[in-house]
Amino acid sequence: MTDAEDRKPQSDEARSAFVPPSHLAAQTDSESSTTSEFAVPDGLAVPKPGASESETTSEFSLPDGLDVAPPPPHEPEGSAFSTPRTYSAKQAAAFTPPTGVPLVRLTKDVPWQDRMRTMLRMPVTERPAPEPVQRHDEAGPAVPRVLDLSLRIGELLLAGGEGAEDVEAAMFAVCRSYGLDRCEPNVTFTLLAVSYQPSLVDDPVTASRTVRRRSPDYTRLAAVYQLVDDLSDAETQVTLEEAYRRLAEIRRNRHPYPGWALTAASGLLAGSASVLVGGQLLVFVAAAVGAMLGDRLAWLCAGRGLPEFYQFTVAATPPAAIGVALTLAHADVKASAVITGGLFALLPGRALVAGVQDGLTGFYITASARLLEVLYFFVGIVIGVLTVLYFGVQLGANLVPDAALGGSDPQPVLQIAASLGLSLAFAVLLQQERATVLMVTLNGGVAWVVYGAMHDTGDISPVASTAVAAGVVGLFGQLLARYRFASALPYTTAAIGPLLPGSATYFGLLGIAQNEVDSGLTSLTKAVALAMAIAIGVNLGSEISRLFLRIGSAEKRRAAKRTRGF
Express each pLDDT in 497-527 by its tens digit.
888 877 777 777 777 776 777 877 888 888 8
Per-residue pLDDT, averaged over 126-144, amounts to 63
Confidence of residue 380 (pLDDT cuts 50, 70, 90): confident
Does this model's pTM top 0.85? no
Model confidence band, residue 214 (pLDDT cutoffs 50, 70, 90)? confident
CA 222, CA 434: separation in Å to the nearest integer? 12
Burial label, 260 (beta-carbon count in 10 A; 0-12, 13-18, 19+): exposed
Residue range 415-423: mean pLDDT, rounded: 89
Average pLDDT over residues 68-95: 51
Q: Which H helix or E strand runs over 191?
A: strand 191-196
User: pLDDT for 260-283, tens place per residue?
Assistant: 888 899 899 888 888 887 778 888
**Rounded-to-integer distance, Cα 251 and Cα 219, Å:** 11
- How high is the pLDDT of residue 114? 64
Tell which wins on pLDDT, 117 or 481. 481
Q: Which amino acid is at 279?
A: G
- ∠ CA(214), CA(215), CA(219), 5° rounding? 130
What is the distance between the alpha carbons of residues 512 and 509, in angstroms, rounded to a whole number? 5
Check: CB of residue 499 under 8 Å from CB of residue 470: yes
445 or 354: whose pLDDT is higher? 445
- Single out the residue of 334, 328, 247 nearest to residue 286, CA to CA: 334
Over range 109-116, report the average pLDDT. Answer: 64
Q: How far apart are CA 492 and CA 501, in angstroms?
A: 17
Q: What is the CA radius of gyration of the chain?
A: 40
**Which is more confidently placed, 422 or 83?**
422
Burial of 501 (0-12, 13-18, 19+ CB in 10 A): buried
Tens digits of residue pLDDT in 28-67: 444 444 555 556 566 565 555 554 554 555 566 656 666 5
Contact 397, 268 (CB under 8 A): no
> In terms of C-beta distances under 8 Å and separation of at least 24 residues, what long-range contacts does 431-435 make, across chains too?
431/216, 431/217, 431/218, 431/219, 431/220, 431/255, 431/256, 431/257, 432/218, 432/219, 432/256, 432/490, 432/494, 433/218, 433/219, 433/222, 433/256, 433/490, 434/256
pLDDT score, position 80: 47
Q: Of the candidates 350, 368, 356, which has an alpha carbon nearest to the alpha carbon of residue 543? A: 356
Distance CA 423, CA 261 (A): 15
pLDDT of residue 150: 92
Beta-ladder partners of 210: 191
Contacts of range 353-358, beta carbons closer than 8 Å, 24 or more positions apart: 353/492, 353/493, 353/496, 353/534, 353/535, 353/538, 353/539, 354/161, 354/162, 354/163, 355/535, 356/532, 356/535, 356/536, 356/539, 357/163, 357/165, 357/535, 357/538, 357/539, 358/163, 358/164, 358/165
pLDDT at 154: 92
Q: For the residues 96-115, what does the mean pLDDT come to?
A: 54
Alpha helix stretches (DSSP H) within 395-497: 412-429, 434-452, 462-484, 489-492
Average pLDDT, the chain: 75
User: Which pairs count as long-range contacts for 221-224, CB under 8 Å and 24+ apart, including other chains?
Assistant: 221/156, 221/157, 221/160, 221/161, 221/162, 221/487, 221/489, 221/490, 222/433, 222/436, 222/486, 222/487, 222/490, 223/250, 223/253, 224/153, 224/156, 224/157, 224/160, 224/170, 224/250
Domain ranges for the chain: 1-63, 112-252, 259-548
CA distance 151 to 141: 16
3-state secondary structure of 364: helix
The answer to whether residue 6 scores a pLDDT higher than 60 is no
pLDDT of the residue at 433:
86
Task: Give pLDDT, residue 44.
Answer: 60
Q: Report residue 329's pLDDT band, with 50, 70 and 90 as the boundaries.
A: confident
Phi (first) and psi of residue 448, to 5 degrees: -70, -35
DSSP, res 350: H
- At 554, the pLDDT band (50, 70, 90 cuts) reads very low
Handedness of CA 149, 152, 155, 160 (dihedral sign): negative
pLDDT, residue 552, reads 40
Q: Where does the pLDDT of residue 373 fall: very low under 50, low under 70, confident under 90, or very high at 90 and above? A: confident
Residue 402 backbone phi and psi in degrees, to 5: -65, -15
| Residue length of the chain | 566
- Distance of alpha carbon 265 from alpha carbon 185, whole angstroms: 37
For residue 377, the model assigns a pLDDT of 86
